[in-house]
Each structure stands twice: as C-alpha cells, then as structure tokens.
C-alpha cells in the first residue's frame, strides 16, 4: 500500500522537488466526526443538564457563544471553554476519545514521506491538550518533525502573522517548493491542495 501511495502522490506532485510538507490535522488527517459530535452534541447535552434546559435551547445558546470567538485563539482554547461554560472540556473529550479516527491511507502517506526524507510539519489551530489526546489515540505523532500550534505563535492560522512566524520557527523557505494540505481530507481517491506558503488558503478551524 505504501508503494501505491507513493505512486499516487508522485503522479500529482513533483515529489522529488518538495522539501517541506505542512499538514493540517482535523478533517485532513483525522475524521472530523469526533469534533463535530463533541461540540454539537455532547457539550450541549452537558450544558443543558447543568442549566436545566432543553437540548435545543442549550445548543442554540452554545452556537451563539461559539460564533463570537470564531477565528480567534479562544475558539480552540479548551481551557477558555472550560471557564466559559463551567464544564471540564478536556475530561469530556476523554470520555469519547474512542471516536477519534484516522482517515484511510494517512499512515501509508506519512510513512512514504518519512521514507522519502521529507520534513513533515503539523500546523494546526488545535489546543495542545487536543493534540496530545489525538496523538495518544492515533499514534501518528511519531511521523512529524515538528508540531506548530496557533498557541505557539500567538495567532490563529487565519492570520498572516501565523505564517510569518511559522516560517521562522520551522525554518522553511517559502520561495522553495512546499506542499500544504489544509482543506481536503487525504484519501487514495481524493487529490490534495498544493500551494506555496505565501498563498495558503483558509482551511477548517480545528478544536
């Protein structure tokens, strides 16, 4: 399968010319069902219980609260939401960690990159507690040379300041060819987005 993966990627990218590979996590390497279920079902359920209200009303209130902080560091800050909602958000995530799943072919892809001696960076908005939980469940952390979170830079990935900081912290040259996967899930049947670092488009926010 790894050989198939290498052949498939090589057909779409000049792999021999790519030195740095920047990967998103949720929705790209990992299935987003875990996060969607957590924020749209489990948190409203616990919030409703705490405040003695219906699930529907709780979800409506939470959607409004989420929207206020979208695109900021608070959006993915588990400690912020624990304080804001008076719920132990990391502990609730632990309860459903069995729902965390890696997309098909992801490990073959990562193994191929390691074998090809590429520098593999995870660049994510996810909070470090979310990253730790997902790495423990999936064991994909071993494939990355460096993990850079928005909490390391002080800026969400939607900010150009994140990318200027990332360039300095990770040591890549945006003038050289790089491959970024930020918007589409990886699978054997689906192509990925290639771009220079200077033209990376907005991707899904991770939590």
Its pTM stands at 0.81
3, 17, 60, 173: which one is catalytic?
A: 17
Q: How confident is the model at residue 16 (pLDDT cuts 50, 70, 90)?
A: confident
The β-bridge relationship of strands 119-124 and 146-149 is parallel
Report pLDDT digits (tens) over 166-190: 999 998 766 555 555 444 444 433 3
Q: How confident is the model at residue 15 (pLDDT cuts 50, 70, 90)?
A: confident
pLDDT for residue 193: 35
* Residue 140 CA to its chain's centroid (Å): 12
| Dist. CA 71–CA 205, nearest whole Å | 8
Q: Is residue 17 flagged as an active site residue?
A: yes
Q: Over the chain, what is the mean pLDDT?
A: 84
| Dist. CA 200–CA 162, nearest whole Å | 11
**HSE-up of 163 (CA within 13 Å, CB side)?**
15
pLDDT for residue 200: 33
Report pLDDT digits (tens) over 1-10: 555 555 555 5
Q: Picking from 4-13, 41-50, 102-111, 191-200, which range would have the lowest pLDDT averaged per residue?
A: 191-200
User: Would you list the domain boundaries of the chain?
Assistant: 2-31+101-199, 33-98
Give me the residues paired with residue 148 across strands: 123
pLDDT for residue 205: 46
Element (H, E) at 106: helix 106-115
pLDDT for residue 160: 94
For domain 2-31+101-199, the CATH superfamily is HAD superfamily/HAD-like (3.40.50.1000)
Say if residue 58's pLDDT is above 60: yes
Report pLDDT digits (tens) over 100-142: 999 999 999 999 999 999 999 999 999 999 999 999 999 999 9
């Amino acid at each position: 399968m790894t050989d198939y993966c290498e052949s498939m990627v090589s057909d779409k990218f000049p792999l021999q010319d790519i030195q740095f590979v920047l990967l998103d996590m949720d929705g790209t390497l990992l299935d987003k069902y875990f996060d969607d279920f957590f924020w749209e079902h489990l948190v409203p359920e616990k919030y409703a219980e705490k405040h003695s209200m219906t699930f529907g009303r709780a979800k409506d209130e939470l959607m409004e609260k989420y929207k206020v902080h979208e695109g900021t560091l608070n959006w993915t800050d588990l400690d912020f939401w624990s304080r804001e909602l008076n719920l132990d958000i990391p502990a609730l995530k632990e309860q459903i960690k069995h729902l965390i799943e890696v997309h098909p072919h992801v490990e073959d892809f990562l193994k191929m990159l390691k074998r090809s001696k590429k520098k593999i960076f995870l660049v994510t908005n996810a909070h470090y507690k979310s990253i730790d939980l997902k790495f423990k469940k999936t064991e994909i952390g071993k494939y990355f040379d460096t993990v850079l979170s928005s909490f390391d830079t002080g800026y969400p990935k939607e900010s150009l300041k994140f990318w200027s900081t990332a360039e300095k912290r990770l040591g890549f040259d945006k003038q050289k060819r790089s491959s970024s996967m930020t918007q589409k899930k990886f699978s054997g049947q689906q192509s990925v987005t290639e771009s220079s670092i200077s033209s990376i488009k907005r991707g899904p926010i991770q939590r």
